[in-house]
Amino acid sequence: MAGEEKILHVRVTAADTRALRNLLRDERLDVGGGPAPTPGPGDERSIEAFVTEEKALGLEREDVAVHVLGDATAIGRARQEEVGTGDRFADPGIVPHGLGQKVKDQSREG
């Protein structure tokens, strides 16, 4: 899609909890539902986020490092290519087959 910004999956590592809080207060980041800080060496705290390339460059500061984990836009497009076309449920006489296993429900037995 023309004009669409590339989204990067990044790990943002702050020197300590205070630095991470300040960053999250100052910047609006897509942290996938909520920040989940992970401990690092010493007092470091890291979160993963989805940001534009421009935003990723702007997050770098004295007490914050940004490491690119991947190109989320490219990964998303690749996953979309895996999706089939048509309606697999169009013919009501055909039962879709998946990877699941049918198991006997023993909770209903007396």
User: Which domains does the chain possess?
Assistant: 7-81 (3.30.70)
pLDDT tens-digit readout, 40-97? 778 888 899 999 999 999 999 999 999 999 999 999 999 988 888 877 777 777 776 7
pLDDT of residue 60: 92
Question: Residue 36: its pLDDT value, please?
Answer: 66
Burial (Cβ within 10 Å: 0-12, 13-18, ≥19) of residue 30:
middle
- Give Cβ neighbours of residue 61 (< 8 Å, ≥ 6 apart): 23
Spatial neighbors of 9 by CB under 8 A, at least 6 apart, are: 48, 49, 50, 68, 69, 70, 71, 72, 75
> Tokens for 12?
């943002």
Instruction: Output the pTM of the full model.
Output: 0.69
- C-alpha distance from residue 17 to each of 1, 9, 11, 47, 73 (Å): 38, 21, 15, 11, 29
What is the per-residue pLDDT across 16-39, written as a single tens digit (0 to 9) for each? 989 999 999 999 899 876 666 777
At residue 110, the pLDDT reads: 52
How long is the chain? 110
Residue found under tokens 């935003």:
55
pLDDT at 97: 73
Residue 13 has pLDDT above 70, yes or no: yes
Supply the pLDDT for residue 68.
Answer: 96
What token pair was written down for 89?
């449920």
